[in-house]
Amino acid sequence: MSEDYNAALLQAWDGFCDRVKAAGRLAFRDETPDSPLVRATGVRYMARYIAKALDHEVNFADPLYPQFWLLQTPTNKSFGDNPDCTYWVAWADGAHDYRIVGNRGSVAWVSFKVGDHVLHNHELKTEWDGSFVIELSATQKPGNWIKLDPGRQRVFVRQFFGVWDAEEPMRARIERLGAEPPPPLTPQEVIDGLGAAAKWLEEDSAWWPRWVDAFLEQPNTFTAGVPAFTRPADDPGWDGHQVALGRLLNFVGWRIQPDEALVIDVKPPAEFSYWNFELGDRWWNSVDYRYRLSSLNNHQAELAADGTIWAVVSHQDPKIANWLDTGGNIEGSVNQRWVDAKQSPLPRARLVKFAELDQVLPRELRRLSPEERREQLRRRKIGVDRRFPV
């Protein structure tokens, strides 16, 4: 680049700020309801995307110097994040070899995905103490191995928690074999990084609210699989990586007034490793799972005697264990997944008046006292703190 790096850097910074400012108009899109809560969460959604974009395209973007970073946290979210899941991301390049070293912990389910290549929970070989090594390379290696394709690719790691306040998190690190210290930072790297971060922010932040738009085309009704608009024209059968990621997905876009409730019931498949329900807002962010009951999994849920799951999405506390708290939102989504399952039962959803719940719910379902509800929420917060320690 020219010797006038000051002018070039200033131009890059101004351009980044201008593009972020323009992208922020997404928070006022016509498709989302115009309410104080929706607009406030929309602006916060875009503000949080700044840090996410910089991590994605600047701070951890170099595949020669990989580092796992948290793609989703309790305060920085996107893509219908699963409250049960801790997501890690790093970058790799197929021209090099990498190694992941860690300990499996006791979480309910883990998964490693690089490009189209995966290593799921039951496939991970560990030592007696839970420790493991995974090799990443273009050519096969003994033991745990994930193939690298040519070029830059994302290393995507998920760990699903069942009993949040009791399970030990998985720990891991990634290294490129033979790595040496990086050269000093150059102005051009910063310029390129800011441009890439702005582009990714513009595109990624706008993509996910469209999913909730699609779910709400049939409000309060579960549909199977990913929305049609997400499927490439040349691949109309694309499943949203469901098979590769080991999951079968169902969704419902809900629209619920304060005096209403959405009653969900379904019997799980005979075989599974994990299942859950996740409550999201209009921006497809999980409702605050630190302080609200915004998700439910097979370890947390209380089932009816015949094995049926009954859950209630509502503004008011229905007093049953399986409550999904809207957090004041009138519209949003429930994402539902069966993991390692051969069948994908489609849940039933019924909109009723909140006052009529006792007539709809089975009488056998346990009703919680205020003290039991507070303890349920307290244990939930403890589980979050264990996953995201300081």
Task: Give me the tens of pLDDT residue by residue for the chain, a chain 390 residues long.
Answer: 567 999 999 999 999 999 999 999 999 999 999 999 999 999 999 999 999 999 999 999 999 999 999 999 999 999 999 999 999 999 999 999 999 999 999 999 999 999 999 999 999 999 999 999 999 999 999 999 999 999 999 999 999 999 999 999 999 999 999 999 999 999 999 999 999 999 999 999 999 999 999 999 999 999 999 999 998 888 777 777 777 788 899 999 999 999 999 999 999 999 999 999 999 999 999 999 999 999 999 999 999 999 999 999 999 999 999 999 999 999 999 999 999 999 999 999 999 999 999 999 999 999 999 999 999 999 999 999 999 998
- Quote the CA–CA distance of 56 and 196 in Å, as a whole number: 9
Map residue 288 onto helix, strand or coil.
coil
Answer yes or no: is 77 within a domain.
no
Tokens describing residue 6: 């000051």
| Type of residue found at 137 | S
Cα-based distances in Å from 29 to 35, 130, 201: 12, 48, 16
- Quote the CA–CA distance of 165 and 376 in Å, as a whole number: 11
Answer yes or no: is 154 within a domain.
yes
Answer yes or no: is 332 within a domain.
yes
Task: Tell me the sheet residues that pair with 274.
Answer: 339
Map residue 249 onto helix, strand or coil.
strand
Domain that holds residue 154: 84-176
Q: How far is CA 117 from the centre of its chain?
A: 19
Number of domains in the chain: 3
Claim to verify: residue 347 and residue 333 sit in the same structural domain: yes
Map residue 318 onto helix, strand or coil.
coil
What CATH number is attached to the domain comprising 247? Answer: 2.60.120
Answer yes or no: is 170 within a domain.
yes
Answer yes or no: is 75 within a domain.
no
Claim to verify: residue 165 and residue 228 sit in the same structural domain: no
Tokens describing residue 362: 């089975």
Claim to verify: residue 224 and residue 336 sit in the same structural domain: yes
What CATH number is attached to the domain comprising 126? Answer: 2.60.120.600
Q: Are strands 144-147 and 131-137 parallel, antiparallel or unpaired?
A: parallel
> CB-based contacts of 149: which residues, under 8 Å, 6+ apart?
94, 115, 116, 117, 138
Claim to verify: residue 333 and residue 202 sit in the same structural domain: no
Claim to verify: residue 227 and residue 266 sit in the same structural domain: yes
Cα dihedral sign for 292, 204, 174, 275? positive
CB atoms within 10 A of CB 249: 19
Shortest CA distance to 93 belongs to which of 138, 152, 175?
A: 152
